[in-house]
Structure 1
Amino acid sequence: MSFSQGLSGLNAASQALDVVGNNIANSQTVGFKSGSIAFADVFAGSQIGMGVQVSSVNQNFSDGVLGMGNSSLDMGIQGNGFFRLTNDAGAVFYSRNGQFKQDENGYVVNNQGMFLTGYQATGNPPTIQPGAPVGPIQIPNGQMPARASDAGSLKGNLNSETEAIDQTDPANAFDPSNNKTYSSVSQMDAYDSLGNKHTVNIYYVKTGNNTWKAYSSDATSPKLDDGGETLYGELDLTFTNAGELTTNSPNLNIQSAAYNGAAALNFNLDLTGMSQQASDTEMGSPTTTGYAPGLMNGYVVGDNGQIIASYSNGQSQLLGQVVLSNFTNPGGLSSKGDNSWAETPESGQPSTGIAGTGNLGKLLGNRLESSNVDLSKEMVNMIVYQRNYQSNSQTIKTQSELLQILANLG
């Protein structure tokens, strides 16, 4: 019987050394989770055991150290969760290895060619729609289309000491070509539907104590296509004796004629932030929506898994958002090699969502999670299992010697 005991011990120690060897071999594998072996004794209807057996090989899903990544698409997970991947056949796998790249079609894939999944941003500007399906994320390589300006705002101060202009006199009727008919002027940029840049002038005319008029004129495309009159926006501004704007809905309309085939500009400039004080007339930087087309300069992965691209027109936009999946029992996942696991009945069904929500951990861009193998611990385990192997072999040797002695007695 001691032969079988010793043999079972040799087999168990050998498998334990295999686990240790696999851990050491993968000590530099990104996202690798170390394994540990569990033993169980064997009894067969007697008080003397029949030896040992391997009951399971468990994986340790504790976090590895996060280090710097090597590319814009490298990602690391801190806490619970796995990257959700699919292959060409649509089978779903899970991984902690955040080494990703683009394939020839712009899809984000790992080194084995499996697709990273998440929410794809759509529309102009791109956004993630509520209820969007989870699927492979694709990074478009085309230019960012132009967006027409459809809103804007301007804050500033109008000098209360400015001399008023009597507009009841026909000679003082507003004329942008005659600087005697307005008190000051400022400029702002706007973009039409094709991305043409328009320079818009805003003229300010003091008409009396605490009253002003604002006019707008598109200097780039001021006249109608038939050469008709110039298009102007006009707004009355009224201030309190403390210099606060009291005009209801202080929106100055910005209009233009069609330009180079684009739709005409037509949006409102919000002047809510205007004031009137006894100091120089000074306008802050205007803000407007809209931009020219642009080529992609690059992209980054934000800490919540958003993939954001930057463009030559100074704009940035959302391309997609990576999702994470977690399981009630990660130890029940089935290892599939290539740093991936698959769902099993023991693991339970995945809970999938955005990083940092629910029980999902954080997702960090330009980071990689190193293997969680503790080399010092593995070296100690290797020595222990090696001695265990030698000890079991010694019991076999001793049993053999005892049998030889009994044979000689015969």
Structure 2
Amino acid sequence: MSFYTSLNGLKNAQTELSVIANNLANAETTGFKKSRINFSDIVSSSASTNPKLVKGLGSTVQSIDQNFSLGPVQQTGAALDLAIDGEGFFTKVNPTSGKTFYTRNGNFSLDGGGFITDSSGDRLQLLPVDATNTVTSLTPQDAIAPLTNGAGSDFIGVTVTNDGSIMASYADGTTQSIGKVALAAFVAPNGLLQLGNQDWASTGISGAATYNQPGAARFGNIMSGSLEQSNVDIAEEMVGLITAQRYFQANAKAIDTATQLSQTVINLRT
């Protein structure tokens, strides 16, 4: 039995090492959120078992939780580099599949059609506004800057204000708001499904996304010209790496000891 108990420990240590390695590998990944592994014990008992004789059977991985704490913010100066100082997520839609993704990576740019996209071509979503820059609907739509304004002047570029307003500028010196950045929030963000590329998708555990404009409740404000960096603490991960290594070594030693005991019993002579 001790072989399987320690084997469980080896498998768990290997999983913990994988989680820590992934955190360290993404220490410089924009918008990355670190993970943490949680263990639970396994016992062998029933209603008729003497509680004083209950023994453990090792441990198992209970969950791998994501930590959505705010990472350090780096100033870049680029107008479409955006960071969120709250709990919200940027909302993106893939123009080909129509699928919706959520991210904390605010590295966006303009494509040839005036759409604001990320490096994968997914389009940033915004909330429509009226002439007074008041949000008129909480249903997100593609962020697109008209290539000419009502007077026929050519589009020059966009800027984003702290309240999330996306302002398009034109050659005649005029500006107009094309909408406000749509931020999404979730009842249980730990239930979001990681998809890679710093993207998440909603699940039944996370609940459906709730949309609102920047500055509302817990959604947070927009910081233009900035990017949120990974929230991985390298020193903390290195300490965890050493602990996981000792955990692995201890279970390996337990297996070695059990092997020696078994060998001793086999070699007993009458």
Tell me whether the two structures share a fold, i.e. TM-score over 0.5: yes
The corresponding residue for 1:72 is 79
How many aligned residue pairs are there? 261
User: What per-residue deviation string (whole Å, max 9, x for no partner) do you get for residues 348-379 of structure 1?
Assistant: 22210101112311111111001000100000
- State the alpha-carbon separation in 2 of the partners of residues 44 and 105 from structure 1: 63
Give the CA deviation at 1:388: 0.6
State the one-letter code of the partner of 1:392: N
Aligned pair 1:54/2:61, yes or no?
yes
Aligned to 1:320: 179
The aligned residue for residue 90 of structure 2 is 83
Is contact 1:126-1:319 (8 Å) kept?
no
- Partners of 2:178 and 2:214 lie apart in 1 by 16
Q: Which amino acid aligns with 1:362?
A: N
Q: What letter is aligned with 1:94?
A: Y
Q: Residue type of the partner of 1:71?
A: A
Deviation at 1:60, TM superposition (A): 0.5
Q: Is the 8 A contact 1:120 1:137 kept in 2?
A: no
Structure number with the higher helix fraction is 2
* Equivalent residue, structure 2, for 1:138: 144
Q: CA deviation at 1:129?
A: 6.5
Structure 2 distance, partners of 1:388, 1:370, is 30
Give the residue type in structure 1 aligned to 2:206.
S
Secondary structure of the equivalent of 2:21?
Answer: helix
- Note the 1:8-407 alignment, pairs <5 A: 8-45=8-45, 47-69=54-76, 71-87=78-94, 88-120=96-128, 130-131=136-137, 133-142=139-148, 144-146=149-151, 294-407=153-266
Provide the rounded CA distance (Å) in 1 between the counterparts of 2:60 and 2:89. Answer: 32
State the alpha-carbon separation in 2 of the partners of residues 84 and 129 from structure 1: 16
Cα distance change on mapping 1:128 and 1:356 into 2, 3 Å: closer
In 2: Cα distance, 1:62 partner to 1:141 partner: 38
Deviations 1:18-67 (A, max 9, x none): 00000000011111110000001111226221111110000101001111
Contact 2:125–2:181 (CA<8 Å) still a contact in 1?
A: yes
Instruction: Give runs of ≥4 in structure 1 deviating > 4 Å.
Output: 125-129
Counterpart CA distance in 2 for 1:21 and 1:80 is: 26
Q: Which has the larger radius of gyration?
A: 1
The Cα of 1:300 is off from its aligned counterpart by 0.8
Contact 1:126 1:317 in 2 (8 A): no
Give the Cα separation in 2 of the matches to 1:311 and 1:115. 22
Q: How big is the shift at 1:320?
A: 2.4
Letter in 2 for 1:78: D
Letter in 2 for 1:101: S
TM-score, normalising length from structure 1? 0.61
* Aligned mates of 1:25, 1:367 — CA distance in 2: 22
Aligned with 1:409: secondary structure?
Answer: coil
Q: In the TM superposition, what is the alpha-carbon distance from 1:314 to its structure 2 partner?
A: 2.4
Q: Cα distance 1:55–1:334, how it changes in 2: closer, same or farther (>3 A)?
A: same
Counterpart of 2:49 in structure 1 is none
Matched-pair contact (CA < 8 Å) for 1:308–1:319:
yes
Residue 103 of structure 1, CA deviation? 2.5
Over the matched positions of the two proteins, sequence identity in percent amounts to: 36
Q: Secondary structure at the match of 2:247?
A: helix
Asked whether the equivalents of residues 332 and 344 of structure 1 are also in contact (C-alpha less than 8 Å), the reply is: yes
Partner letter of residue 238 of structure 2? M
Q: Tell me how large the CA RMSD over aligned residues is.
A: 1.9
Normalised by the length of structure 2, the TM-score is 0.90
Q: For the residues of structure 2 that align with 1:129 and 1:384, how far apart are their CA atoms?
A: 51
